Amino acid sequence: MSDFFDLVNQRESCRNYQPDHRPSKEQLIRCIEAARLAPSACNSQPWSFIVVNSEEKSACVAKACQYAGINKFTSNCPAFIVICEEPAVLMSGKVNQKYAQMDIGIATAHLCFAATQQGLSTCIMGSFDQQTLLDALNIHEEKLVRLVLAVGFDAGDKLRPKRRKAVEEIMTYLD
Ligand SMILES: Cc1cc2nc3c(=O)[nH]c(=O)nc-3n(C[C@H](O)[C@H](O)[C@H](O)COP(=O)(O)O)c2cc1C
């Protein structure tokens, strides 16, 4: 898929994965490569990524995501990318916001588009049990996991219509 707008239309949150169809290591590394190239405030790159692509470890991540009875679909998802926030070194004097979460959001969008481009499906998850995740993956206690991305192959075949606000509702155009 080469057209950016096709890619944008193709990407949707997948909550129905083929449990036995695992993405390849190369595909997942391509996703990380795209995230690595994302812009960030002062080029601070305040992120790191833990790629989980094994039956045993993926089951642990799925358990952590099934926090408060949600994200049950993760049981069938073969792989995950755990997105952590790292300390940001910013140019002093030019900083009037905390940018790390914005930067991570942009990097996560890059992950999703790189996955879609390769025929993979994703679902961003912001709800998970932080401690269960840290324990399961032996992540340092002080690390902050911001998002978990489910990655795999869609078990369905049809794109859902997008439910979005209209352009007129969200845009003010001044000319
Ligand atoms: C920061 C963030 C957190 C999200 N957390 C979850 C989640 O925990 N579980 C889930 O099923 N979807 C989650 N989503 C997916 C949204 O529900 C989804 O992107 C939105 O409904 C639009 O649908 P689409 O992605 O299919 O276009 C999250 C999305 C974002 C950006």
Name the phi and psi angles at 148, rounded to 5.
Answer: -125, 135
CA of 123 to the centre of ligand 1 (A): 6
CA angle 135, 138, 142 (to 5 degrees): 80
* Gap from CA of 142 to ligand 1 centroid (Å): 26
Structure confidence at residue 1 (pLDDT): 57
Nearest CA to ligand 1 atom 17: 13
Determine the pLDDT at residue 89.
83
Residue located nearest, by CA, to atom 20 of ligand 1: 13
Whole-number pLDDT of residue 125: 98
- Protein residue with least CA distance to atom 19, ligand 1: 13
CA of 171 to the centre of ligand 1 (A): 22
Domains of the chain and CATH, by start: 4-170 (3.40.109.10)
Q: Specify the residue for token string 């995950």.
A: 80
- The verdict on pTM exceeding 0.95 is yes
- Regarding the beta carbon of 126 and ligand 1, being less than 6 Å apart is answered yes
Contact of 79 with 28, CB cutoff 8 Å: yes
- How confident is the model over 37-55, as pLDDT tens digits? 999 999 999 999 999 999 9
Q: Which two tokens stand for residue 164?
A: 């979005």
73-85 residues labelled b (16+ CB within 10 A) or e (exposed) = bbebbbbbbbbbb
Atom 27 in ligand 1: residue holding the nearest Cα: 12
| Parts of the chain with a pLDDT under 70 | 1-2, 93-94
pLDDT in tens, 48-76: 999 999 999 999 999 999 988 999 999 99
Instruction: Give me 41's structure tokens.
Output: 């405030």
